[in-house]
Amino acid sequence: MELLEQISFNLQNGLDDVVAALTKDAIEKRIPPGEILSDGLIAGMSIVGEKFKNHDIFLPDVLLAARAMNGAMEMLKPLLIKEGIPIRGKVVIGSVKDDLHDIGKNLVAILIKGAGFEVIDLGNDVPAEKFISAAKEENAHVIGMSALLTTTMPVMKKVVDLAKDEGLYGKIRIIVGGAPVSKEYALEIGADAYSYDGANAVETVESFFPVNN
């Protein structure tokens, strides 16, 4: 089995030590970190998601896979982040209230940081008010929200509405993402943009600059 397939396979089985060792091996073999991420880790996690949906595996299996993924992502992080580039703007990011999924959000945060932006990561389960207060305190240019559950998506609208109430709307750019989120939903709630993955999130954030406010 090819190395990236082995990473995917062992991630599906939640073997974090093996995934870490294989990721180290892949890094040493100079496989590009983006490829390790997409063809090894994300590929494995997609299969985990399918199996979970079909009830072939259960929540503890998903948790183990998530732990293996997070461990390997920590190893890839310094390689994904370019060192020593000037700060281009500030982004406050988080997974919305009641949403504990943070793997995708973490990845998006790493890539945005890697593109030279300062990233204030509020973590997961972030209330709407917290996005707004943090953005104000930090003088952020962008708020990024992630939701993986259809039930938590309405928090995104709440943040947009609060931004309007606080006079921030149109000044701070709001970007939304996550598997159940769509361009149509972003438009419907009045967010500035929808991004479908990390690389696209970087392009979107970059498209907001220079900011004229």
Find the binder of ligand B1M among 55, 59, 84, 210 (CB under 6 A): 59
Does residue number 160 form part of the binding site for ligand B1M (CB under 6 A)?
no
The one segment of 5-13, 14-22, 102-110, 133-141 that binds ligand B1M by CB under 6 A? 102-110
7, 22, 26, 108: which one binds ligand B1M (CB under 6 A): 108
Residue pair 45/69 in contact by the 8 Å Cβ criterion: yes
Q: How far is the CB of 201 from ligand B1M (least distance, A)?
A: 4
CA distance 21 to 9: 13
Among 146, 172, 173, 202, binds ligand B1M (CB under 6 A): 146
Contacts of 151 (CB under 8 A, 6+ apart): 98
Q: How many residues does the chain have?
A: 213
Q: Note if the bond before 86 is cis, omega within 30 degrees.
A: no
144 binds ligand B1M (CB under 6 A): yes
Q: How far apart are CA 54 and CA 41, in angstroms?
A: 20
What span, in angstroms and rounded, lies between the C-alpha atoms of 88 and 207?
12
Residues lying near ligand B1M in the complex (CB under 6 A) are found at 42, 45-46, 48-49, 52-53, 59, 62-63, 66, 93, 98-105, 107-108, 144-146, 148-150, 175, 177-180, 195, 197-198, 201
